[in-house]
Amino acid sequence: MLRDYLPKFLRKVLQADSGSASVEAPAILTTVEQTEAEPFTQLMPTTESTETEQIIQKIRPYSMVPDSGVEFLIKAVQSIYEQQIEGDFVECGVWRGGCAAAMKLAERSLQPHSQRLLHLFDSYEGLPPVQPIDGPMAAGWQQAVDSPWYFDNCTASLEDVQRNFSQLGLLDSEVHFYKGWFETTVPEFVKGKSERKIAILRLDGDWYESTKVCLENLYPLVSEKGIIIIDDYYAWDGCAVAVHEYLGSNGLNHRIRSIPDFSSAYIIKQAHRDA
Ligand SMILES: C[S@@+](CC[C@H](N)C(=O)[O-])C[C@H]1O[C@@H](n2cnc3c(N)ncnc32)[C@H](O)[C@@H]1O
C-alpha cells in the first residue's frame, strides 16, 4: 500500500487533511533533503545490510514508523556500541512494540549477551486527548475516528505488546514494561535512579505534554553522546514546541537534526561540539 511507504508525519498530514491529499513532500523538504548527509548518519554504516532489512521485516507488523526511521534506529544502536556509550534503551510511546523490538534485535545481533535494559513506557490504552497546543492537525487526526489511520487512537494493550515480543523471541528479564500515563510512570521511574544512564531515548508520544514530561524527567539520565530520537517533531506542533521549550529553558545548545527523509528528528546529547 502506498501509505506504507510514506513517512509517518506525511501519513498523519494526509489523514488530517484528507480533502487535499498529496503525497509530495513540501518543496522546502525536498530541497533540503538533497543537501549533505546529517552528521550523525555520517558516523554510521551508510548502506542497508541484509540484517537491517531482516529486522525491519520482522518488526513491520508492529510499528507505524516508516522503514527509514527503523533503519536509523538500528544504526543508532550500532553506533552506541561502536562508541561504547553507556546506558539503557528507553521508548516512551510503544504502541505494538515494533521500534522497541528493533532496538533489541539490533542489539542481539551485535551483543547476544548484553545486559542493557529496555524500558517501555505506555498507557497501553492509547493516546490522551489532544490539547490546543498540539495544533489543529492533531485535533483533526483525533476526531477522524473512522479514518484507516486512526488505529483505535494508537491503542495496543500490554498483553498485545508482550505477545508480540514473545513471538519475536524477545520477552526476557531485560525488558521492563511501565503501564500508565507518562505523567505518573516516568517521574516514578526516575525516583532514586539518578545514577542510571540512558544510551538511546526514543520519544514517540505524539503530543506536547507527553513529550515534555519525558524530556524533563529522562533527558538528565541520557549519557554524554547518547541519542534522543523525537519521532513526532515534524508530525505534530505540540511535540515541536515541547522540544524547543525544553532546550531553550535549559540553555541547551544541541542541534535538532533530521533523518534524511525528515520523518523524524534527533539530538545527540553533547555538551560541546568536537569540531
Ligand atoms: C504513535 S504511537 C507509538 C508508535 C510506536 N513507537 C511504533 O513503533 O509504531 C504513540 C503511543 O504513545 C502512547 N502515549 C502517548 N502519550 C502518552 C502518555 N502521556 N502516557 C502514556 N502513553 C502515551 C500511546 O498509547 C501510543 O501507544
Place of cell 545527540: 268
Place of cell 539503557: 88
Give me 55's grid cell. Answer: 529486522
pLDDT range class, residue 25, cuts 50, 70, 90: very low
pLDDT (average), residues 51-64: 97
Is the C-beta atom of 181 inside 6 A of ligand 1?
yes
Tell me how far the alpha carbon of residue 204 lies from the centroid of ligand 1, in angstroms: 6
**pLDDT greater than 70 at residue 154:** yes
Answer yes or no: CATH 3.40.50.150 is held by domain 2-268: yes
Domain boundaries, the chain: 2-268
- Which ligand 1 atom is the nearest neighbour of the CA of 183? 19
**pLDDT greater than 60 at residue 16:** no
**pLDDT greater than 80 at residue 19:** no
pLDDT computed for residue 48 by the predictor: 57
pLDDT range class, residue 8, cuts 50, 70, 90: low
Residue burial 147-183, b: 16+ Cβ < 10 Å; e: rest: eebbeeebbbebeebbebbeebebbeebbebbeebbe
What digits encode the pLDDT tens for the residues 30-55? 333 333 444 454 444 455 579 999 99
Is the C-beta atom of 205 inside 6 A of ligand 1?
yes
Is the C-beta atom of 69 inside 6 A of ligand 1?
no
CA pseudo-torsion sign 8, 99, 78, 229 = positive
Residue 81 is inside which H or E element, if any?
helix 67-82
Tell me how far the alpha carbon of residue 248 lies from the centroid of ligand 1, in angstroms: 25
What letter does residue 191 receive in the DSSP assignment?
T
Is the C-beta atom of 67 inside 6 A of ligand 1?
no
